[in-house]
Amino acid sequence: MKQRVRFTKLGKVRFLSHRDIARVWERALRRAGVRVAYSEGFSPRPRLSFGLALSTGYESLGEYLDIDLAEEVDPDQLPAIVAPSLPTGIVAQVAIVIPPGTDSLQQAVTSSTWRIDLPAVAPGDLIAAAERVLALDTLPVTVERKGAEAQLDARLAIVGLTPLGSVLEAELTTQPRSLRPAELLRAVDPMWVAGRVLRTHQWTSVDGARCEPIPFGDLGARGATSAPHAEARAS
């Protein structure tokens, strides 16, 4: 059985790297008594497959994990089973069974929505900047990929920009070209400094319809913080 789990990454756990989060889940599943299938070979590893890596320091209302299970577990019960073994800020929200042959999260997710706090930017300046960028045909920016600098047309990766006071909501593609929030800000105005960066949604396309890998209600920018062990903001 293979299951897909949606979970939060809020508060102080934002400082854990992608690899650290993988280790957290490996330990949590082991402590919870959930039997995970292992890879073959000289160094067997739990068969866990994560979605798009979240940069260290960023938070998220919906991260995803695919788990190959060695024995059947009721997906409705899985979040509650692992909850006591997860650290504050990581909450397993929901789990579903996925059939064999389902596209990996890396293949399926085509864009993400972000909320970027810009406390030092006046709302009027943010509106003007968003309108200027959306009117451009190209927006060059230098990015780092695999340890080397490269030129990228950021405009091609910007699906939408919505100013909300001193918060910029941005939908950025993840394929065929990706753009990170820090790279977006550098392209728009190198002087801007982000406060909180929160991933609110990850989007896939199913039969032409835009949807999430696992929908989880109507979550706002501060949503899901009332769930057990979640923190709305780290001190």
Does the pTM surpass 0.95? The reply is no
Q: Cα 67 vs. chain centroid, distance in angstroms?
A: 17
Residue-wise pLDDT for 175-213, tens only, equals: 888 999 999 999 999 999 999 999 999 999 888 788 999
Considering the chain, what percentage of its residues have pLDDT values greater than 70?
92
- The token pair at 219 is 């979550």
Cα atoms in the Cβ-side hemisphere of radius 13 Å centred on 30 = 11
Residue 57 has pLDDT above 60, yes or no: yes
| CB contact set of 200 (below 8 Å; sequence gap of 6+) | 60, 61, 62, 113, 114, 115, 169, 219, 221, 223
User: What's the rounded Cα separation, in Å, for the pair 166 and 15?
Assistant: 24
Give the containing element (helix H, strand E) for 209.
strand 209-211
Sorted by where each begins, the domain ranges of the chain are 2-107, 110-211
Which of 63, 70, 88 shows the shortest CA–CA distance to 34?
70
User: What's the rounded Cα separation, in Å, for the pair 44 and 42?
Assistant: 6
Residue-wise pLDDT for 80-126, tens only, equals: 999 999 999 999 999 999 988 888 998 999 999 999 999 999 999 99
| CB contact set of 225 (below 8 Å; sequence gap of 6+) | 10, 231, 232
Domain 2-107 has CATH 3.40.50.2300: no
